[in-house]
Structure 1
Amino acid sequence: MRRALAAIVVLALLGAGLVAAQPSVPTPRTYLLGALNLLRAHSIDRDRVDWPRAEAGAVRAAEGVPTLSGTYPMIRDVLAELGNPHTKLLSPLQARAPSAATIKVPSSRAADGIAVLEVPGFVADPDGERRYVAAGTAALRAVEAQAPCGWIVDLRDNSGGNMWPMLTVLAPLLGDGIAGSFAGPGLAPSFWSIRDGRAWIGDHPGTAEVNPVRLTRPAPPVAVLTSRDTASSGEATLIAFRGLGRVATFGGRTAGYATGNEVFDLADGAKLLVTTTVDVDRTGRPYGAWPIAPDFPTQDPETAAGEWLRTRGGCA
């Protein structure tokens, strides 16, 4: 069930500034064709579909449908042809963000000189973002006070959502500079970076909040834990660490949603999540709709990570 939710709750990787809207109160036919036009114009997988045939078939299947929601099956049939598990239609109920008070937030613990920071997925409103970043900053500060020689970042339960609060929480561990990018056909790369204590997308801050924590031991060794439940922006958070020589990954292969979605609001409150880009790490290596393998596959990643950290300079 968790993996299914990871595929559904995936989201707005490119931020609210890219959300588009359809005209209000369309007919079911207009609504259907509008959704298909968005897929045809923006999907990174659009060349997989014979659009005249697909549109004609969808319109025939929707004849006599009295409601906008009655066209969902036709839209999802075309989504199946695109073949990308990250491109989704969310009903109005599925698209509703949870309340800020109910979301999971980062937590931490430390033992034997090693800090563990658990970073869950994040989907919520601005109040939720403030709560998430504040909790993450407090969790990081609590273990930083013990001057750990190494860090474990646990992404095993990170099923996705908005990546920017996650990266802001992790800014002190990532360090300043380019952390990755989004790339797509005919698009200029959109770079992710860390500076001034928070994550940025191009020239725009990813969060309103800033992480003020500064590490006693800068640029520490970091072990990142992953699993099949690490999905979407959980995978993007993993990718932000890849290419750093002081980082290694442990655990299981990820879910395979290392792509960026543009979010389109539909007239009835549904949302169309359209995969428009792939994630790229700081070295220029692209990812996509396939799982990311860890450096060290293991069923006991925390133990293996601790052993690896103790072989690094500061933890020897």
Structure 2
Amino acid sequence: MRRALAAAVVLVLLGAGLVAAQSSAPTPRTYLLGVLNLLRRYSIDRDRVDWPRAEAEALRAAEGVSTLSGTYPMIRTVIAELGNPHTSLLSPAQAKAPSAETIEVPSSRAENGIAVLTIPGLIADPEGEHRYVEAGIAALRAVEARASCGWIVDLRENSGGNMWPMLTVLAPLLGDGVAGSFVGPGLAAKVWSIRGGQAWVGDHPGAAEVNPARLTRPSPPVAVLTSRNTASSGEATLVAFRGLGRVGTFGGPTAGFATSNEVFALADGAQLRVTTTFDTDRAGRIYGVEPIVPDFPAQDPEAAAGQWLRTRGGCA
């Protein structure tokens, strides 16, 4: 999951085993030491690793390596020791965001008083994020008048990315107030909230956009659909709904990546994504590497959600 506009990507050059700006490119050795320093400093799993041993073994394995990319196997070996599948190293090709025109955007449909809003994952540059939010607002507005029974939010194929545009699109359904938070060892909680159609993290907007849409029926019942493909920011979006008495969750358990990452852009264009905090819901329940089990496991979650919404009253 990505925090504060794509996890507040931290641009760094690595040298002397520390995060530091340099006028010249790092050597493979200083690059490797710098990445290990980031893992040691920021990972919530850092206490699992014997760092002097891991560093010494990584340096021995890197002897004779002449390129920065040649250190990737040593870095990934240490990441494996952390034991958190949400922490990863992406090559420059893997880290490149897709063009704004190619990303999947939210969509909607409505039938028999139930509006279905599908919220896909999002990895994009700012232009892509803007397109995602604009499409989401349009999708919500297109079905708002036909949602007399309530809403289904479909997160079954939301594999993550940037959570803030997702929450911005869903702001009218979430309503104003605290939606969750990030917590981690030795860190003050960072609260997520919705304020006037905008998603916030702490005292800062999470996304630049504001959702101006307003519902004819405020605080409607909402059914959220999940599956094993619901991961990372998809799970954070689910967590934002948990604890609301008018919300039920349907489908299958999620992937178990309900944690947040800091994203460090490395000197060669690679990205280091370090898991730094756990997600918590508005009731203070902490999530993490265990799948989130829905309230109502179902083979046909959309049908089950529709039946549940019709029991909530207000259908026209």
Contact 2:4 2:205 in 1 (8 A): no
Quote the sequence identity (%).
78
Please tell me the residue identity of whatever aligns with 2:3. L
TM-score (norm 2): 0.95
Please tell me the residue identity of whatever aligns with 2:2. A
Please tell me the residue identity of whatever aligns with 2:171. A
Show the counterpart of 1:122: 122
**Which whole-Å deviations, capped at 9, do the CAs of 1:207-255 have from their partners, x for residues lacking one?**
1111111100000000000000000000000000000000000001101
RMSD over equivalenced CA pairs, Å: 1.1
**Which whole-Å deviations, capped at 9, do the CAs of 1:47-66 have from their partners, x for residues lacking one?**
00000000000000000011
Show the counterpart of 1:64: 64
Structure 1 stretches of 4+ with a deviation exceeding 2 A read: 11-18, 145-149
TM-score (norm 1): 0.95
Shift of 1:299: 1.1
Show the counterpart of 2:96: 96
Show the counterpart of 1:156: 156
Determine whether 1:232 maps to 2:232: yes
Show the counterpart of 2:166: 166
Show the counterpart of 2:112: 112
Q: In 1, distance between residues paired with 2:132 and 2:86? A: 24
Q: In 1, distance between residues paired with 2:253 and 2:300? A: 13
Q: In 1, distance between residues paired with 2:209 and 2:4? A: 17
Q: In 1, distance between residues paired with 2:230 and 2:8? A: 26
Shift of 1:290: 1.4
Show the counterpart of 1:194: 194
Please tell me the residue identity of whatever aligns with 1:282. R
Please tell me the residue identity of whatever aligns with 1:214. R
Q: In 1, distance between residues paired with 2:9 and 2:110? A: 39
**Which whole-Å deviations, capped at 9, do the CAs of 1:141-179 have from their partners, x for residues lacking one?**
000022432000000010000000000000000000000
Show the counterpart of 1:209: 209
Shift of 1:130: 1.1
* Alignment gaps of 5+ in structure 2: 15-23
Show the counterpart of 1:254: 254
Contact 2:9 2:265 in 1 (8 A): no
Matches within 5 A, 1:69-88: 69-88=69-88
Q: In 1, distance between residues paired with 2:121 and 2:180? A: 19
Shift of 1:13: 2.4
Q: Aligned pairs, how many?
A: 306
Shift of 1:314: 1.8
Show the counterpart of 1:31: 31
Show the counterpart of 2:309: 309
Please tell me the residue identity of whatever aligns with 1:293. V
Matches within 5 A, 1:124-139: 124-139=124-139
Contact 1:236 1:279 in 2 (8 A): yes
Show the counterpart of 2:273: 273
Please tell me the residue identity of whatever aligns with 1:140. L
Contact 2:2 2:8 in 1 (8 A): no
* Alignment gaps of 5+ in structure 1: 1-10
Change over 3 Å in CA distance of 1:230–1:147 after alignment to 2: closer
Shift of 1:127: 0.8
Structure 2 residue matching 1:273: 3-state secondary structure: strand
